[in-house]
Structure 1
């Protein structure tokens, strides 16, 4: 993985791809530590209907097995306690503390533990692979199994041109979202397209619009 990268995306909603916003991933490595930030916000009328940003931050260290998150924060809309959740990974006690500050719980730390932001970059660090990958992922609420299986190599048309990608998918389970990720083989397997089929909100896609990489 590069020392620093900034990936910008256009966000679309629905099967017809109605543009609703923009997103950015900012990845930085300092020594054996990483910081990953995601910022998503609406544009146009969506910004008026749903003001504010979705901000996610994951930070931790890099090991021989990939990313090992230490802390994760997610904030939806206004920066108030009821809109903010977090996860703290304690590798000595083998626990993860998740939830809002006023209502946090502690659960066992399971193998391959990631947060919902770091998991895509963890898959990028593991790629390429043939077999499915079983991880355990928190959104700041709990820690649940996350199985990513290989769909195959695909050529993807993007604003950057046609990219060679590895298509991964996580099938929908009870109450969970189906997620597809396309990792660019010529860009350190960084995510260039992410599609989430929300159980409540339908299909949301973010497609790369630009990338800036520093090694």
Structure 2
């Protein structure tokens, strides 16, 4: 009887011990499952790509790499590993309210929204000696015979740092007077005959830095600005100082009856001219102009102090007026 009681008591103790051990084992297994990393999948790819923080304008960011075909449908795709290159933000060169040092300020009297013309470039200038060039003018028009024999003349005089210039012919009746400065010719006053008689006067007010035409028309004056007559002798002086300057294009601000603007002379090339004074080597220049304006060409003769030995004007309707040298008188070098 006593033995049976002891066996029953030990069975209960063993059962309670076994249950306690089982509970401890289950608790340890649960904790291990929670803290242990998931097992790595063999063969799972690692996606590597360089990305920006934002896609460029007009383009979308690249789509993430798709999982391999043999991956289980229920398994989530592995996260991609991204390497980002951080670029410093670009800073403006100057604040919006500032301008680069040395930039000329617009004239206070200029029209709103319009800056005064600035001389495109500076050239070395050595002006030619006093000269007189006589020309013969030939005019042709579509469907009409050429009219020949009309005389024209260029009179260029220098003395004591001052000059006077008169030119007639295919460019009209032009005159200019002034002095000289570091940029070459410095006109003080110019005139050109108007279509109905009289003359259009252009004054270069150097004391106030203005080009004046009439009572109200006024524009900023920049050093090196010329009028329609003086620009021809300025071109001569540029070539005489250094022939290498007369290449590609030569840009000069020119003031006339239509206001002041940049005149661009395209160097066409070197040409031989047959003239009454003999065969002349020349440099052919063409003044570029908008469609609908007259085409103006000039031929300068390096062996004749770069003086203009031929001028030609072609109108939009095809009318051509050409004046060719027939005599040259040049004073001793000045």
Same fold (TM over 0.5): yes
1:14 aligned to which of 119, 128, 140: 140
Residues 104/157 of structure 1: CA separation in 2 closer, same or farther (3 Å cut): farther
Structure with higher helix content: 2
Whether the 8 Å CA contact 2:228–2:256 is kept in 1: the answer is yes
In the alignment, which residue of structure 2 is the partner of 1:124?
236
Instruction: Check if 1:176 corresponds to 2:176.
Output: no
In the alignment, which residue of structure 2 is the partner of 1:164?
281
Return the TM-score normalized by structure 2: 0.54
After alignment, is 157-166 or 131-140 more displaced? 131-140
Return the TM-score normalized by structure 1: 0.82
Matches within 5 A, 1:1-215: 1-14=127-140, 17-19=146-148, 21-40=150-169, 55-76=173-194, 83-99=198-214, 105-110=217-222, 112-127=224-239, 128=243, 129-199=246-316, 202-215=319-332
Whether the 8 Å CA contact 2:282–2:302 is kept in 1: the answer is yes
After alignment, is 196-205 or 184-193 more displaced? 196-205
After alignment, is 90-99 or 28-37 more displaced? 90-99
Distance in 2, matches of 1:199 and 1:112, equals: 30
Distance in 1, matches of 2:209 and 2:149, equals: 40
Structure with higher strand content: 1
In the alignment, which residue of structure 2 is the partner of 1:49?
none
Whether the 8 Å CA contact 1:97–1:106 is kept in 2: the answer is yes
Whether the 8 Å CA contact 1:130–1:150 is kept in 2: the answer is yes
Instruction: Please list the CA deviations of residues 56-111 of structure 1 after superposition, one character each: whole Å capped at 9, or x if unmatched.
Output: 21011122321111100123588xxx621110012232210124xxx651112245
Whether the 8 Å CA contact 2:184–2:224 is kept in 1: the answer is no
Secondary structure of 1:67's aligned partner: strand
Distance in 1, matches of 2:220 and 2:331, equals: 37
Distance in 1, matches of 2:178 and 2:280, equals: 30
Residue 38 of structure 1: how far off its partner (Å): 1.6
With a CA cutoff of 8 Å and minimum separation of 6, indicate the structure with the bigger relative contact order.
1
State the number of aligned residues. 197
Residue 20 of structure 1: how far off its partner (Å): 5.9
